[in-house]
Structure 1
Amino acid sequence: MTNTEEQQFLTDLEKKLWNAADKLRSTLDAAQYKHAVLGLVFIKYVSDAFKIRQDELIAAFNNSDSDYFLDPEDFGGADSAQYQEELAVELEQRDYYLETNTFWVPTQARWSFLQDNNKTVIGGAELPIGNDKTIKITSVGHLIDNALDAIEVANPKLKGVLNKQYTRLQIDQVKLAELIDLIATIPFVHASLNSKDILGHVYEYMLGQFALAEGKKGGQFYTPKSIVSLMVQMMEPFKGRVYDPAMGSGGFFVQSEHFINAHKGKIGDVSIYGQEYNHTTWQLASMNMAIRGIDFNFGKEPANTYTNDQHPDLRADFVMANPPFNMKEWDVGVSDDDPRWAYGTPPSGNANFAWLQHMLYHTAPNGSVGLLLANGSMSSNTNNEGAIRKALIEQDLVECMVALPGQLFTNTQIPACIWFLTKNKNARVSASGRQLTDRRGKVLFIDARNLGYMKDRVLRDFTQTDLDQVTATFHNWQQASDYQDTAGFCASVDLAGITKHDFVLTPGRYVGAEAAEDDGELFADKMARLTTQLKSQFSESERLEAQIKQNLKGLGYEI
């Protein structure tokens, strides 16, 4: 959903990043250089953002119309040592950065400090860090670890998150210094792209590339940004607790922030909770939130959602996730009578309904759930799945089902759908202030398989118009305003109608076929015309077949 120029910028950025990884590839395995590159990219990004704010402050201190104006005449003139010293002191006041939600970066963690000293410290050096203080650095790896440690101390939310392992890397110090110089050329500033989103793109790209380099198959499915946007638009997480039990690098939280900002809401009205099993991804999600100034609770450690629930008492207002599809052997160490399985015990061979029930368990009485699952979840009757789906429908928890087009994911061809559930279909006011009508006993089905466009030869994506169409259909139905069933696209169905279809939730069963355009030709006339045309085509086929046989016979081949 970016324009051509923006996409070219991101493509060039990807090439630079992979060149950076190549610097280390010959001496480190993929699992190690993943952390080495991503740690330096993080320092580069927060330093760039810090420098932008610092430049804004310098301009403000020198602007007599600004509230920040620092009058040189009070300090002996603009060229005086006293004025320059006072300016330097003001630039180090942390409150100036926090007021614009700028991540605070200590002196020894700023990129300029690393780049100025990455050659000096080979073999060891003592470096000044301001206020007549110095630090002893023994190597380039120590220089980077010291920077990460300083960031953690200054930003307690990142304690235990950053990988301070550069000193222990078995790598040539000169090569590590060269890597710093290369990453220095990576731009996090663009005219139309948000710098935080550029960083997000960097992380997603690098994680995907590293997963390939490490030989991983399947595993994490990166949710297309347009699908995340669609789910956030439809759920409208304006206020309350937002929870993702399979959060990856935090994509749903980032899009929630975008949505809130776009609708003039306050990010402080939302509390973020998440859980992630993969240690690297858990770290990246924490960094993703920290640089955006979003308060978060991702538990005390990366952990298995089923056996080590990091938020056992949480009841969230909005629960959103894209968990691994059709996950097998998920239930090792999980009891069959776990209180989360209120609608039936999920089968060992597929975690789809385990994820769904886990999310419902953590949903508040007026809360809602948005869940991306494989299409099989809508119709499968094997190993108790049909019974669980029936119980969910009979308890009137299912609000909307959206069928998605194929080819949306970069690393799986499994067709997917979105489940939207709610614990309260009564008439009420939503978190976004919309007046919802009484929807008890009804489910909305949306077939979006014909929406979107091919962004390249293998990948499909949605336009913003597509997203708005689906979102408006859902919201209009919720409000009983300007909604009507549309053949081939959407249908509102009561529970009796779903029961007739054996509790299958595939939208295609209910929306029917798109109405054909009326060309004014009577049916009988059209059938006669088409039958005559078909007869003529059969005759032509027979003539061509005879001609081919004759030609082959002339070449000495008999068939």
Structure 2
Amino acid sequence: MAKPANKKQKSFEESLWDSANKLRGSVESSEYKHIVLSLIFLKFVSDTFEHHRQKLIQNNQEKYVDLVQAYTKENVFYLPEKSRWSFVQQNAKQEDIALKIDTALSTIEKTNKALQGALPDNYFSRLGLDVSKLSALIDVINNIDTLANPHEDVVGRVYEYFLSKFAIAEGKGKGEFYTPKSIVNLIAELIEPYSGKIYDPCCGSGGMFVQSMKFIENHKGNKKDISVYGQEYTGATYKLAKMNLAIRGISANLGAAAKDTFANDQHETLKADFIMANPPFNQKDWRASDELTDDHRWDGYETPSTSNANYGWILHMVSKLSENGIAGFVLSNGALSGGATERAIRAKLVENNLVEAIIILPGSMFYTTDISVSIWIINKNKRAHTVAYEDVTKHYRDREEEILFMDLRQRGEPFEKKFIQFSEQDITDFANTLHTWQQVGAESDYSDIPEYCYSAKKAEIAAKDYSLVPSKYIHFFNRDENIDFDEKMTELKSDMTELLVKESEYKLDLLNVFKELGYEIKL
């Protein structure tokens, strides 16, 4: 009798997730994540505290074990006795364990200034998770040995895995706190944030910053060469970001509190060398019609429409870039064409040589929406990213006056059955395409590839009314290249309008017939 095929062994993170998720009960996933992630955070900071405490004792510095500065100078959070994991675990089966955890988190925040505004406030007591389930969850989290391997970021790995799983669990319309990892990795590889100031104006749970630091580590850079700035609108997500960064030991200025980036910019004078962002897609009513009309961020451009914040985000980021700054961000594909105001802004961005690349992504990459999206690369100094050859001026001008279009819709691999992600090799290949294109001249082996990439001159883009839809430039086989998407959509809109008008006329005629027969119908 044949043996059954061996099932793929679950990873540590998967097993933890399965165990923790079984204990959720009736608590909404969007609320439960704060319970689970807070406990992971508490376990981590307790482990690092206890580890440093033992080092002090072993080094005959026992008199400093309760001195806050002895910990903070080593980037370790000091924990009063009733805030430590050991205390929580000992009291896990007590009826007031939820209150004890809330008190522990509040005390940690008050004791460590760096965590001000970072930790959930009364989540455990307020949500009323069953004591037996909370106790079992504490046992699950206790299995995470956060210090088992000093060369491996175990807790960071678990935290990231749980963030992604919660985003998937929350589904459409929620989960905006998380940008899929492979998209963030691709942006990092495209813009290469080695050193300087990095900024995310809508930072969610801080994933852009985490991957930026990983990029630096992978390329043997120095994390001390990067300073991090961000802002987040939602209070609960702001706390997630603060915890996420604290777990990684990443020092960041996320502003004093969660605030609206447009109405209350907490980094008004910042000039960033790198910007990575995933703004809310097609955000409506982001400003009142009489607000921010003459804001300095739109200087030299049309004021972005109140009906959609896409170009508000673009111009906000352009205004934040340093002299040689570069930005990589995600927007819905609707921003690539159409709209009178948007067209005027888009034309000026192109004419000012700020748009470096437009990269259309596959569908089903995001856990929260099916909307089709693209990565924009905006570069304040396109010349700085080219390689000098004999005829320097000519080669610089070649790329300064061009935009690289890439279509990745047929790339990627399945993930979680219904999603798409990029492999590490995919990301390397896509980034190499951009970097090879940037290095113009005799030694560059860049060439346009049908159905994948095309370098368009500014005159071509102007001739297509400054549309940035990649399929207008990249050659596709077996497709009618004379089809203009915008034109077809306009025709379809006109046809639909005509059909709706006729439907109204027919309905009125029918009502009149019944009325003539003595039967009045009211709709």
Tell me the TM-score range normalised by the shorter chain. Answer: 0.7 to 0.9
Which residue, 262, 265, 268 being the options, matches 2:221?
265
Give 1:13's aligned residue: 16
Give 2:464's aligned residue: 501
SS at match of 1:169: helix
CA distance in 2, matches of 1:463, 1:240: 28
Q: Verify the 8 A CA contact 2:164 2:180 in the aligned structure 1.
A: no
Q: CA deviation at 1:153?
A: 3.7
Q: Verify the 8 A CA contact 1:21 1:37 in the aligned structure 2.
A: no
Which residue, 434, 437, 449 being the options, matches 1:486?
449
Change (3 A) 1:494 1:184: closer
Encode CA deviations 1:165-195: one digit per residue, 9 max, x unaligned: 2685374895586256444445355887732
Which residue, 450, 453, 476 being the options, matches 2:410?
450
SS at match of 1:114: helix
Give 1:391's aligned residue: 348
- Residue correspondence of structure 1 range 81-160 to structure 2 within 5 A: 86=60, 103-119=77-93, 139-160=96-117
Q: Verify the 8 A CA contact 2:284 2:309 in the aligned structure 1.
A: yes
Encode CA deviations 1:83-135: one digit per residue, 9 max, x unaligned: xxx5866877878877875555444322112112345x65xxxxxxxxxxxxx
SS at match of 1:371: strand
SS at match of 1:227: helix
The alignment status of 1:47 with 2:46, answered yes or no, reads yes
The alignment status of 1:426 with 2:383, answered yes or no, reads yes
Change (3 A) 1:425 1:177: closer
Q: How large is the Cα RMSD of the aligned pairs?
A: 3.4
CA distance in 2, matches of 1:99, 1:205: 34
CA distance in 2, matches of 1:166, 1:484: 55
CA distance in 1, matches of 2:353, 2:375: 17
Q: Verify the 8 A CA contact 1:20 1:182 in the aligned structure 2.
A: no
Partner AA of 1:466 in structure 2: D
After TM superposition, the structure 1 stretch with the greater mean CA deviation from structure 2, 405-414 or 274-283, is 405-414
Partner AA of 1:112 in structure 2: S
Which residue, 194, 199, 211 being the options, matches 1:238?
194
What is the TM-score normalised by the length of structure 2? 0.78
Give 1:202's aligned residue: 162
Encode CA deviations 1:236-292: one digit per residue, 9 max, x unaligned: 111111110111000100000101111121211111111111111100101111222
Q: Bigger radius of gyration, 1 or 2?
A: 1
Give 1:541's aligned residue: none
Q: Verify the 8 A CA contact 2:30 2:166 in the aligned structure 1.
A: no
Aligned length, in residue pairs: 458
CA distance in 1, matches of 2:463, 2:44: 56
SS at match of 2:325: strand
Q: CA deviation at 1:232?
A: 0.5
Change (3 A) 1:167 1:374: closer
Give 1:75's aligned residue: none
Q: Verify the 8 A CA contact 1:243 1:319 in the aligned structure 2.
A: yes
Give 1:540's aligned residue: none
Give 1:321's aligned residue: 277
Give 2:363's aligned residue: 406
Partner AA of 2:374 in structure 1: C
Encode CA deviations 1:199-244: one digit per residue, 9 max, x unaligned: 12223433554x46xxx73572732100100000111111111110
Q: Verify the 8 A CA contact 1:103 1:290 in the aligned structure 2.
A: no
CA distance in 2, matches of 1:13, 1:321: 30
CA distance in 2, matches of 1:18, 1:117: 22
Partner AA of 1:323 in structure 2: P
Partner AA of 2:445 in structure 1: D
Change (3 A) 1:350 1:188: farther
Which residue, 426, 430, 434 being the options, matches 1:470?
430
Partner AA of 2:467 in structure 1: V
SS at match of 2:406: strand
CA distance in 1, matches of 2:263, 2:9: 42
Q: CA deviation at 1:514?
A: 6.0
Change (3 A) 1:485 1:241: same
Q: Verify the 8 A CA contact 2:120 2:236 in the aligned structure 1.
A: no
Encode CA deviations 1:378-428: one digit per residue, 9 max, x unaligned: 12x224111211111111110111111111112211111111011112246
Q: Verify the 8 A CA contact 1:306 1:334 in the aligned structure 2.
A: no
Encode CA deviations 1:346-403: one digit per residue, 9 max, x unaligned: 2222211111111111111111111101111112x22411121111111111011111
Q: CA deviation at 1:328?
A: 1.2
The alignment status of 1:382 with 2:382, answered yes or no, reads no
CA distance in 1, matches of 2:468, 2:13: 39
Q: Verify the 8 A CA contact 2:106 2:121 in the aligned structure 1.
A: yes
Q: Verify the 8 A CA contact 2:286 2:309 in the aligned structure 1.
A: yes
Encode CA deviations 1:45-95: one digit per residue, 9 max, x unaligned: 32345556678x59x95xxxxxxxx6xxxxxxxxxxxxxxx5866877878
The alignment status of 1:440 with 2:400, answered yes or no, reads yes
Q: Verify the 8 A CA contact 2:354 2:380 in the aligned structure 1.
A: yes
SS at match of 1:420: strand
Gaps of 5+ in 1: 62-69, 71-85, 123-138, 517-559
Partner AA of 1:499 in structure 2: A
Change (3 A) 1:174 1:453: closer
Q: CA deviation at 1:465?
A: 1.1
Which residue, 171, 178, 182 being the options, matches 1:222?
178
Give 2:506's aligned residue: none
Change (3 A) 1:515 1:277: same
Q: Verify the 8 A CA contact 1:398 1:443 in the aligned structure 2.
A: yes
Q: CA deviation at 1:41?
A: 3.0
Which residue, 303, 307, 330 being the options, matches 1:349?
307
